[in-house]
Chain A
């Protein structure tokens, strides 16, 4: 069964015919060629596929593409301003907040929404906000430092 879905991704309008069983994650990657959204566990545990739906982080593997009709999605491709890295991206660069980078898109979008809601977080609050994003490389310390630095940079 197919259906047309119309939505905005990173400010751009898209209209595509999709199979109704296709997840938003696969839609972004396969239909819109936005492969920065990574697909890890495909059952909501790892957080790699996290995108923003009207500014709030959600698992794109746990949403059907057809459910995103008339929504505004932000993916990792929408974070930087052209060649200018988003302050969070710059902080991750400066503080070695990534190694293999697989979890990074989901973590950056989670952190973006988190800092908008909680601009002056404690380390405990940062760790709680990150609890739904698994990273198997870094041990998280540098990620926490990068988010803290990005928060301090906003003051």
Chain B
């Protein structure tokens, strides 16, 4: 099908964008990469009165790191982050090549995927795993929203209708921290049935910090806190990893849909937690 009629504006500055969002509120939708919004328009699942196309807004394309904190401007395409990550951030590289397809990543933005908040997509789960933050601006001001407070439900976030994400931030794994990323999808590029991102830091052989998120197994990406707790202060032996994976999966309450039953999702989550934690332990410096 074709998009329903709408008014189209393409502001050139953040201030002008915020003005538009303040004026139109819920009637407006922000168009960045458009790889989720355009399908919704074409299928007429979304009928916004106004499309605010931010692609020509200046100053939102920065990609910088500072003390292990990655700052990604709102217009950075997934493909651009993937290319950067290939030589700087192997966890992000492993995850990004599973986001849609090259043609999708060439347009899709990092911030847009996070704002869309599909519970089975990779970037929201990475933000949660990497203690990320989004910077949201509106005419009312600027605030930082931590990942754990951002995702409220399937496609629902704490962002208000007049807010624009201007930047996303990720705490990248530090030197010596190990990472793991696994997902199961029906076909390459599909949304995951279930996926896991894990980062482990060790001190004197024992796990000093574990950051683990699961996606596709609940209404939002989730931190696998039970799995993190099961590893803290212990050596990541195969037995301990298996215990942590079981604890992490037991805490999940996935739903059934036409792709997989709830039980199957929980079983896949347990297996993938085991694999991601094993990889993260193996890659970490004792």
A and B assemble together: yes
- Determine whether the beta carbon of B8 is less than 8 Å from that of A62: no
Contact of B2 among A23, A50, A63, A66 (CB under 8 A): A23
Query: Please, which residues of chain B bring their CB within 8 A of the CB of A22?
Result: 2
Interface presence of A47 (CB below 8 A): yes
Query: Please, which residues of chain B bring their CB within 8 A of the CB of A3?
Result: 8
Interface presence of A84 (CB below 8 A): no
Interface presence of B187 (CB below 8 A): yes
Interface presence of B94 (CB below 8 A): no
- Determine whether the beta carbon of B3 is less than 8 Å from that of A131: no
Cα(A26)–Cα(B100), bound, Å: 23
Whole-angstrom distance between the Cβ of B102 and the nearest chain A Cβ: 6
Q: Give chain B interface residues in 185-200, CB to chain A under 8 Å.
A: 187-189
Contacts known (A61-B38, A61-B42); A44 close to B3, Cβ less than 8 A: no
Query: Please, which residues of chain B bring their CB within 8 A of the CB of A88?
Result: none
Total number of A-B contacts with CB less than 8 angstroms?
A: 94
- Determine whether the beta carbon of B107 is less than 8 Å from that of A59: yes
Whole-angstrom distance between the Cβ of A25 and the nearest chain B Cβ: 10
- Determine whether the beta carbon of A132 is less than 8 Å from that of B189: yes
Whole-angstrom distance between the Cβ of B49 and the nearest chain A Cβ: 11
Contact of B35 among A47, A62, A131, A133 (CB under 8 A): A62
- Determine whether the beta carbon of A132 is less than 8 Å from that of B53: no
Contacts known (A44-B38, A62-B35); A57 close to B7, Cβ less than 8 A: no
- Determine whether the beta carbon of A21 is less than 8 Å from that of B187: no
Contact of B102 among A61, A64, A129 (CB under 8 A): A129
Instruction: Using CB atoms, name the residue of chain A closest to B55.
Output: A67
- Determine whether the beta carbon of A21 is less than 8 Å from that of B5: yes
Interface presence of A108 (CB below 8 A): no
- Determine whether the beta carbon of B2 is less than 8 Å from that of A26: yes
Interface presence of B43 (CB below 8 A): yes
Whole-angstrom distance between the Cβ of B51 and the nearest chain A Cβ: 8
Cα(A133)–Cα(B42), bound, Å: 19
Interface presence of B271 (CB below 8 A): no
- Determine whether the beta carbon of A53 is less than 8 Å from that of B38: no
- Determine whether the beta carbon of A23 is less than 8 Å from that of B188: no
- Determine whether the beta carbon of A59 is less than 8 Å from that of B104: yes
Query: Please, which residues of chain A bring their CB within 8 A of the CB of B187?
Result: 131
Residue-wise, chain A 22-46 has the 8 Å CB interface mask toward B (1 for contact) of 1100100000000000000011100
Contacts known (A64-B8, A131-B188); A44 close to B2, Cβ less than 8 A: no
- Determine whether the beta carbon of B39 is less than 8 Å from that of A43: yes
Contact of B107 among A58, A129, A131 (CB under 8 A): A58
Contacts known (A43-B42, A62-B38); A131 close to B101, Cβ less than 8 A: yes
CB pairs A–B below 8 angstroms (8 shown) = A23-B38, A53-B106, A57-B103, A66-B8, A67-B34, A110-B103, A128-B188, A131-B188
Give me the 6 closest cross-chain CB pairs, A-B, nearest first: A132-B101, A43-B39, A20-B8, A62-B38, A131-B188, A57-B103
